[in-house]
Amino acid sequence: MSETIAARADRAVRSPAEVYEEQFVPALFRHWGPLLCDAANIGPGDRVLDVACGTGALTLAAVGRIRPGGAVLGLDANPEMLAVARRKPADVEWHEGRAESLPFADATFDAVVSQFGLMYFDDPVTALREMQRVLRPGGRLAVAVCDALEHSPGYAALAALLERLFGGRVADAFRAPFALGDAAALSALCVDAGLAEAGIAQHQGTVRFASIDALVSTERACVWTLGGLLDDAQFERLRREAQAVFRPYADASGMVAFAMPALLITAAKRQVA
């Protein structure tokens, strides 16, 4: 069944941040929060900064680790994302700002975390330097990025379908979030940022959508990839063609699931001698 007029109207009314919170967070991002908190060894009393916090999926996971006595701050450059985050009943300081120029003093935090934002920053090297600057000596850094597209079979299939149907411009827009999915290149970026001893490891993750239509509709609504690139006729064509492409990833109920691993940067700021 094609997307209804009511469904299109509902999608048009919701902001990109609301689409992100309602669709992308449960499908892709929520389960990464505890892993990054573990990687940064966040515990009671810690002061934590979540950079590119979005609507707060990782931020709220950190809140659950720092009591008693700790504090969590979330920072994002997108005011719409922060507006959604602020609706949540959590004891968090929300700040608008850019990762490349963090509005905090040196040595302010015990841990700095960031999930799936680094690949969108204008200057990832400067952003990593800033994260290190605001860490206290001995503080921990944990940053996740999408692994290479070829390691996520469902999304690789969607990229190939977009290329076939609409050409390289649309397909490349969809591929953008996977731009840092190379461990060697990511390691070189860390060295440039002064994180020569950073570790980089792959962690497995899974994408889950209620249906093929839900996956395709959500990706179309994403302002950071396909948003605004497809008209209704093109979307309907994509929706039809996607049924066959994603059938191997759908179970009997129609639920779609496939791997989407991440590369996780971890580092600790050196103690003062």
Q: Is residue 28 part of a domain?
A: yes
95 within some domain: yes
Calculate the CA 8 to chain-centre distance.
25
Which pLDDT belongs to residue 171? 95
The structure's pTM equals 0.91
In a domain, 33, yes or no: yes
At 142 the three-state DSSP class reads: strand
Distance (Å, whole) CA 28 – CA 213: 16
Q: 55 in a domain, yes or no?
A: yes
Q: How many domains does the chain have?
A: 1
Would you say residue 247 lies in a domain?
yes
Q: Quick check: is 32 in a domain?
A: yes
Residue 1's pLDDT is 39
Task: Give the CATH number for residue 127.
Answer: 3.40.50.150
Residue 203's closest CA among 117, 264, 156?
A: 264
The pLDDT value given to residue 33: 96
Residue at 15 is within a domain: yes
Q: How does pLDDT run along the chain (273 residues), one tens digit per residue?
A: 344 444 454 445 678 889 889 988 888 898 999 999 999 999 999 999 999 999 999 999 999 999 999 999 999 999 999 999 999 988 999 999 999 999 999 999 999 999 999 999 999 999 999 999 999 999 999 999 999 999 999 999 999 999 999 999 999 999 999 999 999 999 999 999 999 899 999 999 999 999 999 999 888 888 777 888 889 999 999 999 999 999 999 999 999 999 999 999 999 998 765
Give the domain extent around 190.
5-268
pLDDT at 12: 52
Q: Which residues pair with 258 in a beta bridge?
A: 207
- 273 domain residue, yes or no: no
Sheet holding 262-268, edge to edge: 93-96, 71-76, 47-51, 109-115, 135-146, 262-268, 199-203
What are the Cα distances from residue 239, in Å, to 20, 78, 256? Answer: 20, 29, 14
Beta bridge partners, 71, equal: 47
